Structure 1
């Protein structure tokens, strides 16, 4: 069993901004962890500027996972779920007495977004909710920057052997009610 860094972002969203915020969070994580040549993009969410990746494949993947998350939340009473981004490396392993080898994906870092949907009941609650949400987004961005620029965050990155946008296997998983959705 390999230990890998797990960075958790807890966020409470409302229906109005949830898709936009989840897209921005996923893009910001990928912006900091895709190592190929990328074109940067900015997302403005509640007056917080979040970095992103201007790549059609990344946009498609992020949109698909946010939509799966949203559809999953619509089918459960408790409006909570998780989106995780797992970055792996491929290791050569020996099988059966070392006579054959196979490739295995080994996670080196995981980002977990725990999201809950709540709805403000009044305009005053809405304003406070938006301020809290903006503060959470800013804190999340600081967490990303702190981790990826830290000694631990830099040391976790395996050697980069190609110039693909994502030189490592990348998986975004969506879970609602403890069930992984596809």
Structure 2
């Protein structure tokens, strides 16, 4: 399989049962905040004492909630609960004319220009001390993730990845696809 020709940003998380939904909700909202180019209303999300940016939009909130719930269902199901490699992929695309071999117009296709991969590992914690240690580590990880988002989206590569905006209608001029994979199975 050939590597993608568009930028890919990978974020690694270690989660427990009590923080999974809140952390994933915050990370997905932060990605959308940095990559939606329409008129958005910002909001602040408090995730383990870290303030993360979010998007105050019912459509985006529903999308994030659906994907976080799908992730949760995926890791909760099965005999190896939480032990399978799990990820959420956020892909931003642009619509381009699709042409056949003879340059005949065949409709439109979504061509990705950037992808964010959230790798999530769920840990089964046995004590309150383990939970406190994980939450302390997770606070550091979330701080680094927000810094990674800011660094990437303001970098030359991050800015160059964004195609010209030709449609200013709506919250995003680009199609967004969020997929959840637990093991090798796509969920939801």
Aligned Cα root-mean-square deviation (Å): 1.3
Among 85, 99, 104, which residue is 2:109 paired with? 104
Equivalence for 2:164: 159
Q: Which of 78, 90, 99 is residue 85 of structure 1 equivalent to?
A: 90
After superposition, the C-alpha distances for 1:99-122 in whole angstroms (9 at most, x for unaligned) are 334211110000010111113222
Is the contact made by 1:95 and 1:102 (CA closer than 8 Å) also made in structure 2? no
Runs of 4 or more, structure 1, over 3 Å off, are none
Alignment length, in residue pairs?
A: 182
The answer on 1:177 being equivalent to 2:183 is: yes
The residue correspondences of 1:93-172 to structure 2 (distance < 5 A) are 93-163=98-168, 164-172=170-178
Q: 1:35-73: CA deviations, max 9, x gaps?
A: 000000111111100000000000000000000010011
Q: Which residue of 2 aligns with 1:36?
A: 38
Kept in 2, the 8 Å contact 1:84–1:110? The answer is yes
Q: Name the TM-score, length of structure 1 as normaliser.
A: 0.95
State how far apart, in whole Å, the 2-side matches of 1:99 and 1:116 are: 46
Structure 2 residue ranges without an equivalent (≥5): none
Structure 1: unaligned runs, 5 residues or longer: none
Q: For residues 130 and 100 of structure 1, what CA distance do their matches in structure 2 show?
A: 53
Q: TM-score, normalised by structure 2?
A: 0.93
**Retained in 1: the 8 A contact 2:97–2:105?**
no
